[in-house]
Each structure stands twice: as structure tokens, then as C-alpha cells.
Chain A
Amino acid sequence: MKNWRMKDIVVMAALAVVFGIVYLLFLPVNVVMMGLIGPIGTDIIFGVWFLVSIVAAYIIQKPGVALVSETIAGVVEVLIGSSVGPIVILSAVVQGLGAEAAFALTRYRSYHVLVLMGAGIGAAITSFIWGYFRGGFVALDPSYVVLMLVVRIISGAVISGLIGKAISEALAKTGTLTSFPLGKTYRQRKAG
């Protein structure tokens, strides 16, 4: 964290706030889905949770960003007060670790779309393991549990990976990222 700039951190917090708002917009959808098709309904849009991690990592491109941004998002959830209390920070750390692992595997050299999707999948897996113990999935039908995992992985890959990439690149186009690696890559590509 020594080589992080102050603005890297405030930007992560600001992203966490925006995605916090987006998440609140999704909350009713979440409840309806849960009511219709059970806990798997939450898994369909679970990728929304990891968006902040993937977007921040893709924009800032420094080791640790995926983990820390997700953790910050957890803290912000606690500050917003509408959430599950301090435990959510721990859940966020677990998710962040999953996403961070994908970036670490490439030694932070590649932010290819497959890596971004991998980060979404990583977060899906770690969060699922965590949820398995916390949420007591043991009590559910094993085939249903497997289906939940598959749905969550797809959600992580598509919502956080693909949509996260699209959001970050749309942002780069607005010229707001000029002092971040993604903005610089975008500019070079445009110039070259």
C-alpha cells in the first residue's frame, strides 16, 4: 500500500459508494428473485457484488487493489448502515481475495478480458465457500447447491467480468481516467 497514491484510495471508496447505490437499486430485484426461485435467485445477480473489485483493479492496475477495493466496499456498506453489520467486511475480504488471486496469477501483468472474468469467477468461488458455512447450504439438496455454485460462477464471469470491463472502458472514453493506467492505455491506443 506504500506506493498507492491518496487518490487511488479515495477513488476506490468513491467507486464503492456508487456501486453501493447501484446495489441498493438491485435490492428489490434481489428480493423478488429470491421469492420466485429461492436462494439461487440471489446467485444470478451475485456478480454485482464483485463489480467494484474488478472495475477498480482494471482502472488502477496495482497489486492489492481488487482485495482492498472490495474490503472498502464492505466498510462503506457498514457506514451506509443498511447492511448486515461488521460481518459484511469479512465477507468482502473473502470475495476480494478470490478476485485478487486471478490478478496475482498473472503477476499483475495482464488485464485481458479472460483475467477479468477469472477474477469474477475467483470471487464467486471464495464467496460461495464462505456462504456455504455461514448460510448453512449444508441443509440444501446437494444438486441444488451445485446448481447455485454454477449460477454464481456464471454471474461472476458475466456481470463482474464482462460488464465490469465494459463499464471501465466506457469510463475511459469519458476522459476521467487520464491519470490512471487504464486511461493511459486507452489514450495510447487511440493515438496509435
Chain B
Amino acid sequence: MHHINPSIKAGTVTIAAIVIAFLFDPLALLLYIGWTIAVTLLFGKVQIKKYLLYLLPFTLFAVGMLVSTLLFAKTPENPSITQQFLLWELPRETVQDALALAIRVFSYSTLSLLFVLTTDKVAFILSLIQQCRVSPKLAYGILAGYRFLPLLKDELTTIRSAHLIRGAKTKTSRFSRYKQYTIPLLASAIRKAERTAIAMESKGFTGERDRTFYRTYNTSWTDWIFAAVMLGAIALCIIVSKSFQ
């Protein structure tokens, strides 16, 4: 799984997510979720514990989605047909819609995790240049900016302490404190960015496409088989689900 070309993997996951957006069959979705999780765990060599940890926030989100859809659902066409849902008696249509929606959100999450947990980030960006013709100027610019993440996080902590010492907590409102954190952080980020851009150009970077690559990413037939299998599985899940109903 880690060896699948990152661009193809990203493309596959995205297309699958779009297809799913038009799928309202809860059973088919559940089957596909099972399939995605199985692929991630078996072929991605991801530890189950780690996987569950990552999945937790998404699960909470899906539950939130379920509850809110139940509460704010549209008026059902046949309100008389009801169904027992946990403790409540609710219109069947509403329950089905809500479940489908929650399951859908959940299936996005499993697709995302398939990508996130098995893909090297730098590889993804470099592959975007090599396979998707993304401009090197853009791709390396993004990497350069991404490097600031830990620096800026630390800086935010320091700024908070530094403001605390000056008595900002008792002397200013919460809103102006947000501003007092954000502006220095942005100012620092912009200065860092300018200096980094200069350093990159000083190493002969022009942003042109014409360059060699230390790490090359290719596409092979296994990548395309992966894409075909992942997308084909959606159709299979629909068929299996239909045969049950």
C-alpha cells in the first residue's frame, strides 16, 4: 500500500468519495467501509490500535451528524410509517436518511485514513509534480511553508507566555487577545516565508519544470489495478447489498 503511487492513491480516494456522495444505500456503504478498513489494515500494515485512535474523532463526528439529522430532518412524505430507533419512535424515512448520512460521513473518514496512514507527505507533493504536472514553484513553495508548522506552533506557545507575563490576561478582552496572538504569528510567518523564498532562489531554483529528480515516482500497472479494484469494489458492494434486499 505504501508503494502505490501517491497521486493515483489520492485520485482514487477522491473519486471514490465523490461516487459515494450519490450513494444512499446504507448497507452498500457499510460493506464498502468494511472493505476500506480491511484494505488499510491488511495491505497498509497499520496497527489496529493506532487506526482506532485516528478513527475516534471521525466517529464522534458521524454520531453528531446522526443526531443532528434526526433533529433537523425534513418533513417525511410518509410520516405514518415509523420505526423503533433506540428509545424513540421515529418516521422510517428520517431514520434511514440519518443513518445513511452518518454512515456516509464515516466512510469518507475510512477512505481518508487509507490515504493519510499509508502515504509519505513529501512523496505526495513530489509525485504531484511528476505525475500531475503541478508546477514545481507551487509544490516546493508548499513544502517550504509546511516546514514552518512546528516552528510556528512553538512560537504561539511562547507568545502566550510572553503576553501572560505582561498581564495581558487581566488587562485585555478575549477577542483582542486573539488578535494579539495572531498578528505577531502572521508577521513572523511572512518574514520566514520571504527569507526562505530568497534562500531557495539562491540555490538556483527557478520554478521551471525542467529539472532532475533525486526521488522519482513512476506509475506501474499495480497502481492502476489498485485504482480499479478500489472503485470496482463500490459497484460490488451495491450489487451484494441489492441481492440481500
Contacts and interface: CB of A to CB of B under 8 A. Distances in A.
> Is there direct touching of A and B in the complex, by C-beta distance under 8 Å?
yes
Interface of A: 1, 4-7, 9-18, 20-22, 31, 34-35, 38-39, 68, 72, 75-76, 78-81, 83-87, 89-90, 133-136, 138-142, 144, 166-167, 170-171, 174, 176-177, 179
Contacts of A68: 138
Interface residues of B, number: 70
Interface of B: 10-11, 13-14, 17, 21-22, 24, 60-61, 64-65, 67-69, 71-75, 97-98, 100-101, 104-105, 108-109, 111-116, 121, 124-125, 135, 137-138, 141-142, 144-146, 148-149, 152-153, 156, 179, 182-187, 189-194, 196-198, 200-201, 205, 207
A22 B152 CA distance: 11
**A-B residue pairs, 6 tightest by C-beta:** A13-B145, A85-B112, A9-B141, A38-B68, A7-B197, A139-B97
Contacts of B69: 139-140
A139 B141 CA distance: 41
Nearest to A85: B112
B14 A86 contact: yes
Contact of B141 (A10, A35, A133, A135): A10
A18 B145 CA distance: 10
Contacts of A85: 13, 17, 108, 111-116
Contact of B21 (A6, A22, A133, A142): A133
A136 B148 CA distance: 36
Q: Which of B11, B187, B190, B198 gathers most chain A CB within 10 Å?
A: B190
B141 A6 contact: yes
B138 A31 contact: no
B11 to A, nearest CB: 8
A136 B189 contact: no
A170 B17 CA distance: 40
A125 B173 CA distance: 32
Contacts of A141: 72-75
Nearest to B189: A14
12 contacts: A18-B185, A18-B189, A79-B142, A85-B13, A86-B10, A87-B17, A140-B69, A144-B74, A167-B186, A171-B187, A174-B184, A176-B187
A151 B201 CA distance: 44
A171 B108 contact: no
A13 B144 contact: yes
Nearest to A86: B10
B152 to A, nearest CB: 6
A75 B116 CA distance: 12
